[in-house]
Every structure is written in structure tokens, then in C-alpha cells.
Amino acid sequence: MASTMKFMLFSVLSLISFQAVVSIAPLQFQHPLDPLTKEEITLVQTIVLKKYPTSKNRLAFHYIGLDDPDKAAVLKWESLKPTLMTIPRKSFTIAIINSQSHEILIDLKARRMLSDNVYTGHGFPTLSVEEQTAAIELPLKYGPFIESVKKRGLNLSEVVCSTFSMGWFGETKAARTVRVDSFMKESSPNIWVRPITGIIIVVDLELMKIVEYHDRGVEPVPTAENTEYRAAFLKPPFGPKQKSLATHQPQGPGFQISGHSVSWANWKFHIGFDVRAGAIISLASIYDLEKHKSRRVLYKGYISELFVPYQDPTDDFYFKTFFDAGEFGFGLSTVSLVPNRDCPSNAHFIDTYIHTGDGSPSLLKNAVCVFEKYGDIMWRHTETGIPNETFVEARTEVNLIVRTVVTVGNYDNIIDWEFKASGSIKPAIALSGILEIKGADIKHKNEIKEDQHGILVSANSIAVYHDHFYIYYLDLDIDGVENSFEKTTLKTVRVTDGSSKRKSYWTTESEFAKTESDAKIIIGATPSELAIVNPNKHTAVGNDVGYRLIPALPAHPLLTEDDYPQIRGAFTNYNVWVTPYNRTEKWAGGLFVDHSHGDDTLAVWTKKNRDIVNKDIVMWHVVGIHHVPCQEDFPMMPLLSTGFELRPTNFFERNPVLKTLSPKDVAWPGCHK
């Protein structure tokens, strides 16, 4: 029995390889949605510096990215041979020049600046790594801070600092400032669980100096005991022993990568990358075996914003209402993936380039990984209803994963896009990393005398309540660009005429959302099905082809709508929004998010209440987690996961994987049936 089970296990695992030997076709052309290359970033830097030489100007680059090409042109380009049509490559750049935010558009082929506009509204661009690095060095040379450290009996050489965006709380005008908090690294690398509480430091990034300082009093610094997490420094006893896992893919991986374009099973799509959005999935289409053609599903998808408001109104925490994509950059915060840890041994890795504060290109190795995942059930049935005959029919599922990891300060966001041969796309998020801790003179729950705004997870360590709200931009083009948003409500019907022995049943009522207001959905308010459909394309039996949104357990904001963080994060007021496609409406929290006033958000755009019937439309989906910490999250969090599914609904005539056969079993040395 044991040997049989062992063989069955290896028959699945053996379809994976030790080394990712991926078939990579030669790249003969540049895809119009490819991220900027090293040479293109350098060109942007050169053109901007030519107009604004640093000998005469204070200049820093805060965003260099691909300016979205015209969608109609991209779709036409894709339908033709690339050699027959070229699309202009442009870069959109945000630079702070002499304390003013410039929006600069550059034609990369013509090698010239097309426009240069000074932004005069509220908010500032994404923070640069370099200015944050400079800001955290200031307290260590600042007299009052040095005295505060001495007063606490701490060693200044063991103190490290970190920057935090400050949000907006009704100020008419704001300087470009950050808060700087301090932590102890003595005896543990786990600085985030060892905060030095009670010290308030504000740094003006333009002046690069401390402009506000308060020491509200001494609180104990949480101990370093049991906070180590590095394997090399952990001491026995260890947890359950994990058996070694060998993988082998004798026929090689099932996907091909050409540049940033991926072909796998019945799917084709493009992987882009942006310093603000991180990974971007574009031009996803699936081959229909019965119609003998590829059919468009998703034009573009990415995480537009991540809103993380902490729920502590005290001076130490009230400002911690972060917008991780807009303030810190999901792409700038993407980390290099670790082979065999972040991604399995059959993964293929993709490098990309981001930019530094001076506009130079910087190589980010292993930014994205692509791999096949085996072992789940695709579909099955055991037939016992036929007299004198029992049989089992089952299929093994193989899925394709596109993965990145975004680390913003203490939290790690594992971001997956999972493609299924059945036609589903499953975006998923898993959180790990370290809780946000505040120090308190409390060692047991019984000592708590007032609201601590969190959970006591260790002595002197309060893990603060908070939320994670991810909003996805999903430009679904179901079999074409003219789509509609269909709401199907499930309703209870009472039987009152005596026509049945039943007293009730449920049925459905469907309608198209006519305007943006009609499409604002709070999931869970009423039982419903939500889908993007193409009312111009029908199945053989007459159903509109479409894709259904299958959400995770919904989370709704609990802040009042007039609270300043919620005004900025008003895109979380609904779980689903639908807007007409607009090339400039990309960022749910606005283009300039740091210190923003919430006047350029998805919630503001939709007040136009535009028509969305049979139009090129975009669905925005908020995926949220209310995080009430627990001791198991300390000192390092196991994965906390959520996600959703985009599932074909009357898109195919029947089960599209009915004739998809399971991978063949491969005998493994030393195993026997």
C-alpha cells in the first residue's frame, strides 16, 4: 500500500522539472505593452536632464513608465503580423523639479519631449527610495533624538529608522513630509516588533530636515526574545520535519515564453511590469476548441491600489493609513524571488528594469516567476447509478501561475495570477511578513485598562487592528470590446396558490446596469451573481457569452465616509465598480496619492454616471481583509490568503476541458505499482 501511494504521488510530481528549461522563442519585435527597457529608461533620463541639467536644477524622478498606447491600435497590431504595423512607444514620467511636480511625455522613437506640464493640484508623486533613505539617517544625528534614546537606556548604534507616509487630515495645503519611526535591531533582525514608542519625528523631504519633534514619554521597548526568524539562527527543537521533494518534467514545461508573451495550454497572454502597479497581465485570450479560434477575455489586469488603514487614533498611529501602490510603488517595492522557496523548481524567472531617483535604470532580477502547478482535480465523477456497473472518470488539473512578491516595509504581499485550462482566471493574494507593533507597559491581558486598539501578542507588544483593501483594475473584453455588466438577483418566491406542496423556492431576475451608479455593488447585501457579458455574442441556445465574478468573503470599510482616510480611500465603499474605458483612469486612488485630498479617485470619476451598456467597460473589484491579529501571527505571519475567480459563464458551448486528458503517469526510480 505504501509503495502504491508513493508511486501515485510521484506520478503527479514527476511532471515537474529540476531545472526550468523553458522553450523561449527568439524575440523578433518589441511588443507595444512591453515594460520600458534599460535603454529606454536611460533615454528618458537623458532627455529630461538635457532640459533640466542638475547643475542648475534640483531634480528627482518619481515615476518612469510606459505611456499606455491607444487600445484600438494595440488590438489592431495584435490581429496583424507585427512586421506590418508599429505603434509609437512613449514614456510617461513624473519628476519633481525645483519642488514642482512635472508630468512629462516623451516619444521614445523620435527621442523628443512631447509635453511638460506642471501639476498644481493636491498630492505628490510616489516617494523615491533615495529620499526615504536620506530621511531615516537624520534622527541618528539629531540632538533631541539622541537624548531621547539615552533617556530610554538604549544604544544609539542599535537604532534604525523607517519612513511612513502621513496622509491628509483636512489641511488646506501640505508640505511633502514623512513621519520617521525608530526601532531596535539589538539581538534580533526583527526590527518591526521592537518599536521605540512615544517619539514623533516629521521630516520635510524638500528641505531634508526634521521640522517637528516630540517625545511624549517612555514606553518599554518590546523584548527581542522569541523574535528571531532566520533559519540559520534558530535553535532546536524544530517543527515537523518536511520530507524532501524531487520534481521532474521529462517532456519539459508546457509553456513557451517569447519576450514577455506567454503561451500555455489554451491560453495566450502578456506579462508587463510597471514601477507603480507591479506585474500587469494583458491580452489574455483562450483558444476555443469547438470554434477553432482564440477568444479575448482580458485586455488588461493589475492591482491599482492597496489601502491599509490602521485603527489606532493616537498620535503614534493615526496617520498610518497607507496607499502602498500610490505612495511607495508596487513595482518599486517588488523583490527578487528566491528559487525553490518563493517559486518551485520548475519555475521560469523574468527580469525587468525599474528606475532610481536620478532616473538611472536598475535591474530587478527574478521579478516575476511563471510555473505550472499539478495535482488538483480538474473534474471527476463516480458512477454508481447504473445497475451492475460502477466506473470512475477523473482528470488531473494543471494550472499556470504568474507570481510576484511585493514587500512594503513590514508586510510581504504574494501576488498570483492563476490560469486554468477550464477558462478561469484566479487572482490571489497571500500576506506574510511582520505585524505593525506598538510598545505598551503591559505584559498580560488582565492589565489592559483602556482600548489598546489591538491585540496583546507578546509582552509589551500590541499588534494594531488594520485593514488590507486591494482594488483590481480588470479591463475585461469578453469576445470583443462592447460589453455590459449583468446583475442577477436571487429572489425568494412564496407558493400561495396551492400549486405545489412546497411553500417557497428561489428564482433569478437579471438586468444590465445602465450607468456607473447602477454598477456600484456591495457584495453580500443581497444574493446575486455578477458578470461581464457580451450582449452581441450568443451561444447556440441563445445565452449571452460572459465571465462571472466569484468573490471571496467580502470585507467592507468600517470608517465613516467623512473620515479623511476614507475620503481618500472612497474606492473601497463598494466591492464592485464599472466604468467606461478611459485610458487616463488607471489609478483608483488618483495619480498623485501622497498627501492627496481624495479629489481624483474612482469614487469621484463615477459621479459622472456615464453610460456602460454595450460599451468598452472596466470592472474594478475590491478584495479586502479585516485583520484582527493573533499570537500565531507573531513574530512572523504564516500566509493569510484571499482572492477571487473570473469564471466563464455561457462563454463556451459546454465544458471546455471535457476532452482534456490527464498527464501520463511517469514511473519514478525505486517506486512500484
DSSP per-residue codes, 557-609: --S-TTSHHHHHTGGGSSSEEEEE--TT---TT-S--BT--SSSSHHHHGGG-
Cα 632 to Cα 653: distance, rounded to the nearest angstrom: 47
Helices and strands (H, E) in the chain, number of each type: 7, 31
Catalytic residue among 34, 181, 324, 633: 324
pLDDT at 251 over 90: no
AA letter at 638: P
Cα 625 to Cα 95: distance, rounded to the nearest angstrom: 34
Contacts of 231 (CB under 8 A, 6+ apart): none
Predicted local confidence at residue 146, as pLDDT: 98
pLDDT at 480 over 60: yes
| Positive/negative CA dihedral, 320, 324, 328, 332 | positive
Give the Cα-Cα-Cα angle 550, 551, 556 (nearest 5 degrees): 155
Band the pLDDT of 525: cuts 50, 70, 90: confident
pLDDT digits (tens, 9 = 90+) for 272-304: 999 999 999 999 999 999 999 999 999 999 999
pLDDT at 80 over 50: yes
- Catalytic status, residue 324: yes
Predicted local confidence at residue 432, as pLDDT: 97
- Catalytic status, residue 318: no
How many CB atoms within 10 Å of residue 5?
A: 10
pLDDT digits (tens, 9 = 90+) for 593-647: 999 999 999 999 999 999 999 999 999 999 999 999 999 999 999 999 999 999 9
Catalytic residue among 353, 411, 473, 574: 411
Q: Provide the β-strand partners of residue 118.
A: 102
**CA distance readout (Å), 305 to 278, 300, 308, 375, 482:** 11, 15, 10, 33, 26
pLDDT digits (tens, 9 = 90+) for 45-74: 999 999 999 999 999 999 999 999 999 999
Band the pLDDT of 192: cuts 50, 70, 90: very high
pLDDT digits (tens, 9 = 90+) for 268-277: 999 999 999 9
| DSSP secondary structure letter of residue 326 | I
Band the pLDDT of 668: cuts 50, 70, 90: low
Band the pLDDT of 6: cuts 50, 70, 90: very low
236 near 3, Cβ under 8 Å?
no
Residue 184's nearest CA partner among 465, 463, 461 is 461
